[in-house]
A = this chain, B = another copy of it.
Amino acid sequence: MTWTLARRAERLNPSIIREILKVTERPGIVSLAGGLPAAEGFPVEAMREAAARVLTEAPREALQYAASEGFGPLRDWVAAQLATQGLKVDADQVLITTGSQQGLDLAGKVLLDPGSRVAVESPTYLGALQAFAPYEPEFVPVDCDDQGPVPTELQAARGARFLYMLPNFQNPSGRCIGAPRRDALMAECLRLGLPVLEDNPYGDLWFDQPPAAPLAAHAPDQVLYLGSFSKVLAPGLRLGYVVAPKPLYPKLLQAKQAADLHTPGFNQRVVYEVIKDGFLDRHVPTIRARYKAQRDAMKAALEQHLPAGCRWQLPDGGMFFWVELPEGLDTLALLPQAVEAGVAYVPGAAFYASAPRMNTLRLSFVTVSAERITQGVAALGRVFQQALESQP
């Protein structure tokens, strides 16, 4: 063709999750694949009232071009909210983004050269790998145990531009890092001079007790923090934020201007109207209760239906179970059979920067009802049992 692509375009690839989601939109498929929040939990009434109020009280401001930094009162709210979690920042360190996915893109744009090293948990969030990949980094997977990344393994990441982590109910593993491991990890990062990109979309979705303080609270100048309204309100608003160390903020802001000028002011004002008077304190517990019940349903179904030799940890929050099948099973190869049997999941291989473990998979317990979860896991159990029996 007439067009010459940039070299980085080779690093852009179709999202396997989005491809799977297309298949699973067929009626009758129980999708445990997507990380779609339960739509029943969206605060529709509050949104409708807030939208009407914004378009009555400040319509022209909401519909006009606005500051790239974001809507002032919303930035103030974010800073105040983070303070309650032990992270003290100024509102002028907050940059409102078009979903926290944009925060990943901006971080990559400002911090990554071709060949730069980026340390990632193994497995890690696929969307982050996709956001960073076009900037052509070299990924350095950090070995994890069931407590999170192993601090002594960070040595191999020395000199990386940053360590990317999801400490709270990680996507895909569901694991929440406890306070002692956080202390040890941050001590090692400080020793190595290794900056951290802390991604926290799921931290509010705890079931029994909130997660430990953010990594950023340990070393505010060494941690770039990403937050999101997608899981506590609704993802279709595309509203997230970056909290940046002050020396880094101007470049991120300029990258934001170059990328989309600013995040829709209308959305920012609507969300601010919804949350400004403590709405989330009443609303988020209803999401937690719903997800906990669905987590319990999935736990019971996994115990009942998966063949012997399958392993998983019980997530204390978030949206996902991470399941390990007996060695030799390949979840990517088994997916068509699962879809045939009426259930979909994401093969774990998608979440590895390199050396994928083919016998892993991610199951979401938030999108479909407890009843459908049970039905889906039962079907999965049959597929895996059959695969085991036909192993050589």
A-side interface residues toward B, CB under 8 Å?
A: 1-9, 12-15, 18, 34, 36-37, 39-40, 42, 44, 47-48, 51-52, 55-56, 59-66, 68, 97-99, 101-102, 105, 109-113, 116, 127, 130-131, 133-135, 161-162, 193, 195, 221-222, 230, 234-238, 245, 247-248, 250-251, 254-255, 257-267
Q: With contacts A66-B236, A245-B3 known, is A134 near B51, CB below 8 A?
A: no
Other contacts beyond A39-B60, A48-B56: 18, CB < 8 A: A1-B248, A3-B161, A3-B248, A5-B111, A6-B135, A8-B109, A9-B109, A13-B254, A36-B64, A39-B61, A48-B52, A63-B234, A65-B235, A98-B263, A131-B258, A134-B258, A236-B264, A266-B267
Q: How far is the CB of A304 from chain B (nearest CB, A)?
A: 30
Residues from chain B with Cβ under 8 Å of A13 in the complex: 254
- Measured CA separation A141–B190 after assembly (Å): 47
Which of B59, B97, B127, B195 is close to A47, meaning CB atoms less than 8 Å apart?
Answer: B59
Which of B1, B6, B262 is close to A109, meaning CB atoms less than 8 Å apart?
Answer: B6
Residues from chain B with Cβ under 8 Å of A250 in the complex: 14
Q: Would B236 and A110 count as touching, CB distance under 8 A? A: no
Residues from chain B with Cβ under 8 Å of A66 in the complex: 236
Q: Would A134 and B105 count as touching, CB distance under 8 A? A: no
Q: How far is the CB of A340 from chain B (nearest CB, A)?
A: 25
- Measured CA separation A257–B64 after assembly (Å): 26
Q: Would B51 and A63 count as touching, CB distance under 8 A? A: no
- Interface pairs A-B: 3 shortest CB-CB: A63-B234, A39-B60, A12-B254
Count copies of this chain in the complex.
2
Q: How far is the CB of A19 from chain B (nearest CB, A)?
A: 11
Q: Would B237 and A262 count as touching, CB distance under 8 A? A: no
Q: How far is the CB of A205 from chain B (nearest CB, A)?
A: 16
- Measured CA separation A60–B42 after assembly (Å): 7
Q: Would B263 and A238 count as touching, CB distance under 8 A? A: yes
Q: How far is the CB of A368 from chain B (nearest CB, A)?
A: 13
- Measured CA separation A113–B3 after assembly (Å): 13
Residues from chain B with Cβ under 8 Å of A111 in the complex: 3-6, 9
- Measured CA separation A8–B161 after assembly (Å): 14
Q: Would B6 and A113 count as touching, CB distance under 8 A? A: yes
Residues from chain B with Cβ under 8 Å of A234 in the complex: 63-64
